[in-house]
Chains A and B, each alone.
Chain A
Amino acid sequence: DGGITQSPKYLFRKEGQNVTLSCEQNLNHDAMYWYRQDPGQGLRLIYYSQIVNDFQKGDIAEGYSVSREKKESFPLTVTSAQKNPTAFYLCASSGTSGTLDTRYFGPGTRLTVL
């Protein structure tokens, strides 16, 4: 079964703690992405990586960090510097066909800060 897996599905964090969200894909895609989803705000890009050992900030990178040591994996760390981390986090990967960019999403992780 090809696809994207995210774990855990639900995550609870105390204020001041760092937490890492896992994302793995077996689609052999070079590019991977992290989005944050809040009600009424659509999907906002946090970080993306187009190749192993390289990544770029998206629109809302402050308070987050990533790594891309393997093609299949793109973990996201929500640091204590993120002021409002409670949200639904979505990982995605893309394979391009010509100039088309079809993005495949994982099932998401819902993070709640207590």
Chain B
Amino acid sequence: QQQVKQSPQSLIVQKGGISIINCAYENTAFDYFPWYQQFPGKGPALLIAIRPDVSEKKEGRFTISFNKSAKQFSLHIMDSQPGDSATYFCAACGFQKLVFGTGTRLLVSP
């Protein structure tokens, strides 16, 4: 019940394309869903986050879509750029416990 399932494990997208990463959770006690971006050799950094009382949040080229009934949420990167190449982690937070997905390695080809 504490797992967050993330897919795909890796993703290759052409420059200018849309990158989509999906996550699913089981525990309905989770009430905060952040996404982290990690470049090689660096620590993860908070990218964007959403509360379950909204269905979508957009910040620049990054959008989280949230489906509370399906217990799924996804990250969309519009107009993907080579600089977006990184590992992305979804996470779910509840009762001060943060559970991470297993990560998606994104490569945006020029």
Residues of chain B whose beta carbon lies under 8 Å from any beta carbon of chain A: 6, 9, 31-32, 34, 36, 41-46, 49, 51, 89, 93, 96, 98, 100-103
Contacts and interface: CB of A to CB of B under 8 A. Distances in A.
For the complex, would chain A's binding face be called helix, strand, loop or mixed by DSSP majority?
strand
Given A104-B46, A108-B41, A42 B98 contact: no
Contacts of B101: 42
A76 interface: no
B43 A107 contact: yes
Chain A, interface size: which category?
20 to 34
Contacts, number: 49
Given A101-B93, A105-B43, A108-B41, A42 B103 contact: yes
B93 A100 contact: yes
- Pick the most buried of A43, A104, A110: most chain B CB atoms within 10 A of its CB: A43
5 contacts: A41-B102, A43-B44, A103-B34, A103-B46, A106-B43
